Amino acid sequence: METFGKRLSDIIEKRGPLCVGIDPHAALLSRWGFSDDVAGLERFARTVVDALADRVAVVKPQSAFFERFGSRGIGVLESTIRQLREAGALVLLDVKRGDIGSTMAAYASAYLDPASSLSADAITVSPYLGVGSLQPAFDLAAANGAGVFVLALTSNPEGASVQHAVGADGRTVAQTVIDEISQLNKGAVPLGSIGLVVGATIGRTGHELSEVNGPLLAPGLGAQGATPSDLRAVFGESLRNVLPSYSREVLNAGPSVSALRAAAERAVDECRAALG
């Protein structure tokens, strides 16, 4: 079984370094002329699949925007995940789960067990109950060739009070997370399967990412204010492992399939140039 890190490296080589978020919030559905209900959600998801699933490396559905419609919304999410994967895209399900013991194991089973209808190629998780609490997700991901992206340095202003707090050993909380994930990826070739989420808008923070040896998801590009040229300031020598992530910058081009494709192609070209 190929690791997620290998599969991610291969598809980025083939399709380019780009992750596109699927964030069907009410304002975006309205912008597309779709109703803010399950029917509008389904039309939105199907349009994104038709436009991008066979050409974008990674697609990142935000689970909350499907969950808000209850079981029928979850049904749309299940169908969307299946269609994206059938078209060859890697699906990074943005769920940001984080818990302990059997509860974390249940979350891992929901999203990383191939027997689950919500099974994705990778998920996002929160480490702020301790990185060790995420072990069930790490274990199941390794068993099934999946990936896990751990929140490390987020771009929301509230995050710094926790993430930049300094512990007794002089490291920030975020650096502790980064260091623990670096150990999990040690020796992986060509890339580890445990990634980090580091906001593209955070600028120079002094955190050391060079030993991570895993994918670095960089949300915040486009409408949130960051540009591909900002990536070097954030990631420095780790630029080669960055997976840039766009949402509104690409999705605002919809609902035209051709316009969505053109927006994604522009984003890929800009990211390739910035990442070298």
| Catalytic center residues | 96
DSSP label of 91: E
CB atoms within 10 A of CB 163: 22
How far is Cα 164 from Cα 207, in angstroms, rounded to an integer? Answer: 9
Output the DSSP codes for 239-264: GGGEEEEESHHHHTTTT-HHHHHHHH
Contact of 34 with 44, CB cutoff 8 Å = yes
How far is Cα 205 from Cα 215, in angstroms, rounded to an integer? Answer: 19
**Runs of H (alpha helix) within 113-236:** 135-144, 160-163, 173-184, 231-235
Closest CA to 177 of 143, 139, 117, 133: 133
Closest CA to 216 of 202, 224, 225: 202
**Cα dist. 203→76, 225, 248 in Å?**
36, 11, 21
Rg value, the chain, Cα = 18
First to last CA, the chain: 30
Q: Is 217 exposed, middle or buried (0-12, 13-18, 19+ CB in 10 A)?
A: buried
CB atoms within 10 A of CB 255: 17
Beta partners for residue 195, in sequence order: 149
Unique residue bearing structure tokens 């993430």: 163
